[in-house]
Chains A and B, each alone.
Chain A
């Protein structure tokens, strides 16, 4: 799966294949990953209208097993993980004792006493260390499975049809945020209906040895439907249009889930103590009493693209900061997500701009997401 040499980036099982497809590669969290194969705009449109194929093997899989697997995760994470039914997944977060977000996660319950936690590549080690530390005293085992899986995603409206040609698994019965073990193109896979693009789609966790075979089978099955390989560049513009946060941009240890507008992921009603509970209760009260900065969408009136870190301004004063920005292939205009003072956060608020390298460009405040697919 990866070359774990201390020098050089880690390579996914699909590395040679990416290079044979002419991918532009980029370092991402210590991994050499495809940034794009051709035009990132074309790849973006393919996912919105047809289908795209992604290598996401850099994501960090951590397996938690044992009689107290659920109890451990309820203690370690902010969500109500024990309540997740077998075969379902949950979006959740892991926080520090002070409530700061260490990472956002997807947790799959594979069996009564078996979970798979999927962390962001950049945080995988931090999450693993935290789970191991928090497992003390629990009858549960935390296993680093980063090298046990390759992860291939097929995303877009044509993805169910493409996948159906390759599997007998009951895809129609597989709801959004569910996962089931099955066989795809003869390869054993955990088939999950999750995604980070705003489209319907599937993520397939397979053994690294099977990755090339599966990728090629999907490529072949998707040929008629217009499936194309897609890199991380379009993944970023897709998730931005869908209003989905990216750790290191919209989420950080400096923020609690309540500061990020994601307080709903914190389940105070669950039994027992969990790491960060006290701090998060205080954060929830603070947020209720005096709204913190709000994560909003900004749409450019002009053509200049706001970037992460650029100040958001109104009446010549700084009222916020851009966390992610890009030209939106779907809207045809530059868009951004930004944290802005609550007073300026209502959609349609007049007089808001972004300081783009010294010039204040006008932007429209809109509610997130920028794009919602027609179900």
Chain B
């Protein structure tokens, strides 16, 4: 299972990149993508909207189920991944790369985001 060291993670299986010019990228982990199965529809938050840490901001639909997408941080959405909207299978094939979901200008982040090692332990449970 791939869990990149440089990212931080939420217990709901989202990943968060380090900030570039105050903007971080969000996606779901390989663990989450595998649990979902083939993703067929991605409803992402709107550019310009505010997402709140721990709240739902969209949904990911797979063959078998619908899962809420939670934001790992609070902030303003600056960009969404149109490639994923058009081809949701990117979430399965490249969850940490081409399957990223949205970018957010972070104004607040919860204290309980996990390091890669902590997330590894979290998913092993």
Q: Which residues of A contact B (CB under 8 A)?
A: 24, 35-36, 39-41, 233, 237, 303-305, 307, 326-327, 334, 357
Contact = CB atoms under 8 A, between A and B. Distances in A.
Interface of B: 34, 37-38, 40-41, 61, 63-64, 66, 89, 92
B37 A304 contact: no
A330 to B, nearest CB: 13
Contact of A39 (B61, B64, B66, B92): B92
Contact of A327 (B34, B63, B92): B63
Contacts of A304: 41, 61
Contacts of A326: 63-64
Given A41-B63, A233-B63, A327-B63, A305 B37 contact: no
Contacts of A303: 40-41
A137 B41 CA distance: 57
A233 B40 contact: no
Contacts of A41: 38, 63, 89
Contacts of B41: 303-305, 327, 334
Contacts of A327: 38, 40-41, 61, 63
A291 to B, nearest CB: 33
A363 to B, nearest CB: 15
A327 B64 CA distance: 9
A41 B40 CA distance: 10
B80 to A, nearest CB: 15
Nearest to A42: B38
A40 B40 contact: no
Contact of A233 (B34, B37, B66, B92): B37
A305 B61 contact: yes
The 10 nearest A-B residue pairs measured at CB? A327-B40, A41-B38, A303-B41, A40-B63, A305-B61, A39-B38, A40-B38, A40-B37, A326-B63, A327-B63
A359 B64 CA distance: 20
What secondary structure prevails in chain B residues at the interface with A? Answer: mixed
A304 B60 CA distance: 10
A84 B89 CA distance: 47
Contacts of A35: 37, 64
- Which of A35, A327, A357 has the largest count of B CB atoms less than 10 A from its CB? A327
B107 to A, nearest CB: 29
Contacts of A305: 40-41, 61, 66
Contacts of B92: 39
- Which of B37, B63, B64, B89 has the largest count of A CB atoms less than 10 A from its CB? B63
Contacts of A40: 37-38, 63-64
A303 B89 CA distance: 13
A29 to B, nearest CB: 16
A233 B64 contact: yes
A177 B41 CA distance: 38
A36 B92 CA distance: 14
B25 to A, nearest CB: 24
Nearest to A305: B61
Nearest to B59: A357
Nearest to B37: A40
A308 to B, nearest CB: 11
17 contacts: A24-B34, A35-B37, A39-B37, A40-B38, A41-B38, A41-B89, A233-B63, A233-B64, A303-B40, A303-B41, A305-B40, A327-B38, A327-B40, A327-B41, A327-B61, A327-B63, A334-B40
Contact of B37 (A36, A307, A334, A357): A36
Contacts of A39: 37-38, 92
Contacts of A36: 37
Contacts of B64: 35, 40, 233, 326
Nearest to A304: B41
B95 to A, nearest CB: 14
A304 to B, nearest CB: 6
A35 B35 CA distance: 11
B77 to A, nearest CB: 20
Contacts of A24: 34, 37
B2 to A, nearest CB: 15
